[in-house]
Amino acid sequence: MRAVSHRVVPRAAKAPDPTAHHNWAAAISKVLADPSRPRVVYQPIVDLRRGVVSGYEALARFDERPDLGPDAWFQAADRLGLGAALEAQVVRAVGAVRDSLPPDCFVTVNVSPHLLAEPELLQAFADIGDLSKIVLELTEHVLVDDHAQLLALLNELRTAGAAVALDDAGSGYSGLQQLALVRPNIVKLDRAFVDYADRDEAKLAVAELLGAYAGRLDAVILGEGIERPEELAALIRLGVPLGQGWLFGRGQAAWAQLGADQADLIRSLAEDTRHTERITSLIERTPVVRDDDLGAVRSLFLADRGLEVAAVVDRHNRPVCLLRRPTGEGRGGDEPRALPVSLRVSATAEVVDVATRAMTRPSETRFDPVVCGDAYGHYLGVVRPERLMLRLAEARSEISR
């Protein structure tokens, strides 16, 4: 990966740091000298429909001074020019355990956008190599002014398999413009909008707005800081697909799972809100071929003369294009035609929203299959526009009865 430079615009001046007297240089140098530090724990990220753990967030813990929170350590390291080295230490720890993740789970690791180009951090990612199952959680402590170079670097990391999350959405620099530029896979709703959201319609409105906007960007929203069952219920009613917080567990060294009572509560709450149907039930599984094995395409269609659509994915199982057999010819061996992905959505998207987006595409792509993926961008299947229309008609009929 090539190194790129960033011009950083610092935040406005803050009150004096109460930890400024601490000998940060010595403390951070001691941590950097020990590859096993800081200690990294993993907090579960939960699927708020299925009641299972979908991923984990890696959190750094500094046992030397537990009275000083992790933010204080990383901010001090940044001031001393050691921020990239400290973040790289955490990235390496995550890379070392990534292969032990439970099936179908991902792990997020916090990175500062203004440090991404630093050699220490780039080398940490390069040492991991394949970044599949790793989500880069961009923390907006400073504003990166040169977005073009940042996006180029993120594109390289995505090519290596990483996904991207944007932290603290709705506050600080993580505004709507940042979402549109970064195009993250996951948008983390700031905990300020989750705390007692069940009692505050304004907070729920922000969550709903960000959820709708994230859906337009083919991203999923994650509510963080969930501590009360009432907050959980409010987010599930809004259709927020992912959640994180002390209600599900704090960070642990092992990959924690949900308790049976927690899982049952989530499924029960989700069942109560199924009046807003998601497209999950309409997804059609299709054969898949890798983009580095296109020689298999013709044999795939020859072997199954009833096959109409297949998908081409990259080595990270992300959709590249669709393949469709020519219609109206009646010859099963005809060369399939490549279709660009004109619309991709999350499997948690609402039927009404997807139908609207599908039918407002240009006329030449309006009836192409809609490509569906999970929170990490992995290919799940397609939804045919005709199935969307039929489902809307059925729903209208059910309402009129």
281-400, what's its fold?
CBS-domain (3.10.580)
Q: Does CATH number 3.20.20.450 belong to domain 8-12+22-272?
A: yes
Give the Cα separation of 42 and 38 in Å (integer): 13
E strand or H helix at 76: helix 70-79
109 to 105, 203, 219: CA distances (angstroms): 14, 26, 18
Tell me what percent of the chain is helix, strand and coil, each rounded to the nearest 5: 40, 20, 40
Give the Cα separation of 213 and 221 in Å (integer): 9
Give the Cα separation of 169 and 174 in Å (integer): 5
pLDDT at 198 (0 to 100): 87
pLDDT digits (tens, 9 = 90+) for 337-348: 889 999 999 888
Query: Which of 368, 383, 378 lies closest to 319 in space, CA to CA?
Result: 378
Residue 172 confidence (pLDDT) above 70: no
3-state DSSP assignment of residue 248:
coil
pLDDT digits (tens, 9 = 90+) for 209-257: 888 888 888 889 999 999 999 999 999 988 899 999 999 999 999 999 9
3-state DSSP assignment of residue 240:
coil
Domain ranges of the chain: 8-12+22-272, 281-400
Q: Average per-residue pLDDT in the chain?
A: 85
- CA distance from start to end of the chain: 60
| Burial class of residue 182 in the structure, from the number of CB atoms within 10 Å of its CB (0-12 exposed, 13-18 middle, 19+ buried) | buried
- Contact present, 160 and 187 (Cβ < 8 Å): no
